[in-house]
Structure 1
Amino acid sequence: MSATNTKKRFAFTFVELMIVLTIVGIAVALIAPSMSASAPDQLAAASRSLAADLEYARSLAISNNTSYQVTFDTTNNVYYLVHSGANAALDILPDPPTGSSATVSADGKRWTFDLTNLPFVRMAIALHSVRSTAGAGAEVADLEFGPLGETTRTDATAIWLSAGGGTNRRYQSTQINPVTGLPRIQELQARSPLTSLSDAEAFGSHDTVYYDSNYQNNVESTTPLPTQDGTDSVQEDTAP
């Protein structure tokens, strides 16, 4: 075999490399969370898993030059991934990457992500709400990624998770940029989005980043992080 053929055999295309990096990122997101059982740590772990799942859906849309839709079911605490493009040949989804919490439907056309069965998460996590960041923050039920990684919604989408109880309950949103489709995890807060819609921070005006497209744990804010016992500088939610 010639040297030229050998090089061709072992070369990776950009799409293949992107898929590999996404799979590695999902694995890191699942095994890296702290072993602490506190609400802030467990919520951060669940948010990382959610962000990794959304990043993978985006990568599928780009690599296959089509659209994929994630539908959120807050009642049953799950979200689903399906192919939503015109090419029916892509309706059968690939096998979930190693480490993914997704289960595949019998016909292979839908993945289900159940927040009650997340690996490495030892506290009940709730899919609190999914909202557009426009105006008053209307609730939405889905998120669709296009061939360029963009979302079909022109405004950012915020997926809110919650964990803990009483005064220790915490909320965290993962925002999806409508242009790039990239997920960005916002800082933890003690007020639910329903009681803080009038505040800019309801949709993450802070710059704290717990996840980015490189699957790194970056902190870009001087805002104090919550302590493991659930006490922090964030105002408590006094709403029932």
Structure 2
Amino acid sequence: MHEDAARKAQRWTFREQFLDTDRLRHINYGNLTLRREAHLFLTHGVVVSVLALMLFWIVSANWSRLLGFTGMFGSSEPETVQCYEIVTNVTQLPPPPPIAPPEPPSVKRVAAPVEAAPKVGKIKKVAEAPPEQTFATQKEIKQAIQQGPADQNAGGGTGGDTVVEFVNCQTPPTVVSIPSLRYPEMARIAGIEGRVFVRVLISEDGRAMKANVVKRIPSDGTMFDQEAIRIAMETKYTPGIQNGRKVRVWMTIPVRFTLRES
């Protein structure tokens, strides 16, 4: 027994609480011996298990070859092959019956509802419409221009003919007053002269309702259009009279733009 066993036993139990490895290292029996050799047993067990698994897999995969090679569990009797004869009876079937086309759906004839005659009120007698108004031709306008224009002085030039073309009516409209003409600046600088024919609608009270350009001489002299329309719209007229009452009348007014010599 170790010499200081009592002193070490007291130290193990009450002080530092650890085993005396120096003493236990020389013990060759019991639990300590098994612990020292545990890794050997584990290694042997793993190797044997792997080898047994591989052997079982190889034998099972080649079992039929092993039986044929060794001749075990074999039968000396030859194999017999049985043949079966299959007899089939073919019967000619009659043709299928013809398929009848489906009957068209019956259509019910419904009598159309008779609409009641519309109610007609009393017929009132109205005044006869005035006869259709025809416009003067360009030849008549040209003749009216040649009869004697009246000049209006404005903006360094003269223009604004008062010769008027109108539709046929009992009492045609007349010109009461014409505003001063303002010669377009671009045309005055370029020395361009021309004439513009403006068609204007005269209302029942002698006012111009709307106007548009129907012709210009020269044909590309569009710089005079705005001033010619202004002259036609600001001119005061007497209304046209048809069958004793005032009516709306279209008139065509030629506006002449002429430069004066300074």
TM-score range relative to shorter protein: under 0.3
TM-score by length of 2: 0.20
TM-score by length of 1: 0.22
